[in-house]
Amino acid sequence: MEDLVNLLSKFIRLVAIRLPDDVYNALKELSSKENSCWGKEVYSIMFDNIKLALEKNVPVCQDTGVLMFFVDAGADFPYLNVLPDAIHAATIRATEEAPLRPNVVEPFTEKNTGNNVGTRLPWIEWNILPNTSYSNITLYLAGGGTSLTGQAKVLPPASGFKGVIEFVLEVISSYGLNACPPFLVGVGLGTTVETAAILSKRALLRPIGSRNPDPNAASLEKILYDKINGLEIGPQGLGGSTTALAVHVEYSARHPATLAVGVSTGCWAHRRGTMRLKSDLSYELPSYEGVEL
Ligand code: SF4
């Protein structure tokens, strides 16, 4: 248990301090395409920020968010019984050691718990991998500004993809500024608000540069990407040609009478990382090449 908590707390710290490779590379690419002088200046500040966080070993943004874990749990992974307790203990330890800002407030008392653990937090989403002895643990730090953008709505199916596109653009143009652009946009399609919402969040976990394997979903990603960049919100909302790091669409089959749409954003400091934890507690960090805990 102690080894597991130690490993998880170091992983949490890594995610808070260092952007994953794909996000860093996408920011580099966007910064080379930005035309506005304010936009270029914002990128320059962002890269200074990223460099300083690494040099000083401190979180890349002061808002270290609320911790959300997405666990692809191998059915034969030997630590499943203790994993939730280990995640809680590691969160408390990382809050002291990283440090993480205490962000967890109980809604009816308005009391901050002080250690980033509270009712149902850290949030843990489970997915079972049959006949597998390892687990993939993905951590997403849900910051306040970027979470403020999130919305979901159930449309009548007659709205079609035109209605989906209009809803996404309405959300992004009204609230996207909160999410410190350039941001990653996750869109979920399903039957109900909660399935569309969770799919939109899962869309943020895909590596930037990946496309949905369904050609129609991939085409929707491209249409939305072009339209969102056409809004010219620009880096930190100061105007410019680059607003979206990417648009990812995830979907489920739906009820014939509904077309639910969820929208989530991941800000420029999109802190999500994956650790593959094996049965002997050795690990791989596919989001961070050449990095060890
Ligand atoms: S939106 Fe992201 S970068 Fe901006 S303050 Fe929140 S966590 Fe930090």
**Strand locations in 193-281 (E):** 244-251, 259-266, 272-277
**What tokens were used for 12?**
């949490």
pLDDT of 136: 98
pLDDT at 89: 98
pLDDT attached to residue 130: 97
Using omega within 30 degrees of 0 as the cis cutoff, is the peptide bond preceding 122 cis?
A: yes
Cis peptide before 235 (omega within 30 of 0): no
Residue carrying the six token digits 């403020």? 148
Q: How far apart, in whole angstroms, are the C-alpha atoms of residue 40 and residue 35?
A: 7
- What three-state secondary structure class fits 177? helix
- pLDDT tens readout for residues 151-170: 999 999 999 999 999 999 99
| The total number of residues written for the chain in this structure | 293
pLDDT in tens, 207-246: 999 999 999 999 999 999 999 999 999 999 999 999 999 9
- The residue contributing the CA closest to ligand 1 atom 4 is 180
- Report pLDDT for 227: 97
Tell the residue number behind the tokens 């996408």, with chain if given.
26
- pTM flag (> 0.75): yes
Query: Given this model, what pLDDT does residue 6 score?
Result: 97
Model confidence at 257, in pLDDT bands (50, 70, 90)? very high
Residue 134 has which token pair? 């390892």
User: Which two three-digit tokens encode residue 220?
Assistant: 């929707």
Cis peptide before 182 (omega within 30 of 0): yes
Atom number of ligand 1 nearest to Cα 62: 8
Give the Cα separation of 265 and 124 in Å (integer). Answer: 19
Cα–Cα distance for residue pair 143/149, rounded to 1 Å: 11
The pLDDT of residue 231 is 95
pLDDT (0 to 100) of residue 162: 97
d(C-alpha 65, C-alpha 142), whole Å: 5
State the average pLDDT for the chain. Answer: 97
Testing ligand 1's pocket by substitution, the residue of 49, 67, 267 carrying the most ligand atoms inside 8 A of its CB is 267
> Measured between alpha carbons, how far apart are the two ends of the chain, in Å?
17
Whether residue 237 contacts residue 265, with contact meaning beta carbons closer than 8 Å, is answered with no
Q: What is the mean pLDDT of residues 44-68?
A: 97
pLDDT tens sequence across 90-129: 999 999 999 999 999 999 999 999 999 999 999 999 999 9
In the structure, what pLDDT confidence band is assigned to residue 13 with cuts at 50, 70 and 90? Answer: very high
Ligand 1 site, CB within 6 A: 61, 63, 143-146, 179-180, 267-269
Alpha-carbon distance of 91 to 88, in angstroms, equals 5
**Which residue owns the Cα nearest ligand 1 atom 7?**
143
Mean pLDDT of 168-176: 96
Write out the H or E segment, with its range, that includes residue 50: helix 37-56
Report the nearest-CA residue for atom 3 of ligand 1: 269
Tell me what pLDDT residue 226 has: 97
pLDDT range class, residue 61, cuts 50, 70, 90: very high
